[in-house]
Amino acid sequence: MRILITGGAGFLGSHLTDRLLEDGHEIICMDNLFTGSKRNIAHLMQNPNFEFLRHDVTDPFKLEVDQIYNLACPASPVHYQYNAIKTIKTSVMGAINCLGLAKRVNARVFQASTSEVYGDPEVHPQPESYWGSVNPIGIRSCYDEGKRCAETLFFDYHRQNGVDIRIVRIFNTYGPRMSPEDGRVVSNFIVQALRGEDITIYGDGSQTRSFCYYSDLIDGFVRLMEQDKLVGPVNIGNPGEFTMLELAEKVIQLTGTQSRIVYEALPADDPKQRQPDIELAKTELGWEPRVSPDEGLVETIDYFRSYLDS
């Protein structure tokens, strides 16, 4: 198949590209390189089945493709809050452009949604049936509401125009190819530890997240896209739940750093807890995560160590 991946030069998009090329597909990678990097796709530039298009998903595009994976959107709070209006445009207009293309060329289209649609959840762990608790006017809203609106658009194109959609709600995922400047917690803690800098915990460190290794997540994406029964939304994430203090201590132990933990102000609307209920993915996709936190963190630490050395 010929497959379009928007956001294909980002952390997840570039791993998805590798996986789908290995599976024998042709990939068109569309990215404006806002948070993505040519470094993530440099190894593919001579591959005849790979094409890079520097293009913004908010501008219309026409292509002949069989499938679309829509991943274009900054994912780190630091980057999505940098230009909040652009972030919501990217989610909403990017979704409209992908759905319009899918409708025209009869392609199956996938949306990279997020656990942020649950906001600061009152239900724990979060099943797909939970509608969420989201502040519509806060500093995270450009991302959370943008992604919620994208899900709405996907379902309306599906109901109204019969577009063949798939939606994944991604819970915090980490691994090699995250940018050292990304600003999300796993890469921040590892880079701080490797540089011997203070490890910055926001708030008292009691808030929780559940961290999935990228290879498990990509496997879930492809399983959803390659079956005909389930449209989604489906949670994909690792239910292992950590406080940020536990994560910092784990990174200190695995890197052997002398770095100290310091506490900084908690950003507004920071969710207190987050853990995926993955029953749906287990029963319908036969999917569950395989990589343990220790294995995933060690591989990610090795990646950042050689990145920083170079």
For residues 276 and 223, is the Cβ–Cβ distance under 8 A?
no
HSE-CB of 126 using CA atoms within 13 angstroms: 32
Q: Which of the following is catalytic: 69, 80, 143, 174?
A: 143
Binding partner selected for residue 200 from ligand NAD, ligand UDP, none, CB under the kind-specific 5 to 8 Å limit: ligand UDP
In angstroms, how far is the first alpha carbon of the chain from the final one?
36
> Strand 212-213 and strand 173-174: pairing?
parallel
Q: Does the footprint of ligand UDP cover residue 207 (CB under 6 A)?
A: yes
Tally Cβ neighbours within 10 Å of residue 56: 19
Please confirm, yes or no, whether 214 is among the known catalytic residues. Answer: no
Instruction: For residues 279 and 292, give the distance between their C-alpha atoms in angstroms, rounded to a whole number.
Output: 19
Q: Kindly give, in sequence order, each residue whose CB lies less than 8 Å from that of residue 266, ignoring residues fewer than 6 positions away.
A: 202, 203, 204, 207
Map the footprint of ligand UDP across residues 138-197, applying CB under 6 A: 172, 184-185, 188
Q: To the nearest whole angstrom, how small is the minimum distance from the Cβ of residue 158 to ligand NAD? A: 19
Least Cα distance to 115 among 124, 106, 107, 103 occurs for 124
Q: To the nearest whole angstrom, how small is the minimum distance from the Cβ of residue 179 to ligand UDP? A: 13
Among 13, 77, 176, 232, binds ligand UDP (CB under 6 A): 77
Q: Does the footprint of ligand NAD cover residue 56 (CB under 6 A)?
A: yes
Q: To the nearest whole angstrom, how small is the minimum distance from the Cβ of residue 258 to ligand NAD? A: 29
Query: What residues line the site for ligand NAD (CB under 6 A)?
Result: 6-7, 9-13, 31-36, 56-58, 71-75, 90, 112, 114, 170, 172-173
Query: What residues line the site for ligand UDP (CB under 6 A)?
Result: 76-77, 172, 184-185, 188, 200-202, 207, 209, 244, 267, 270
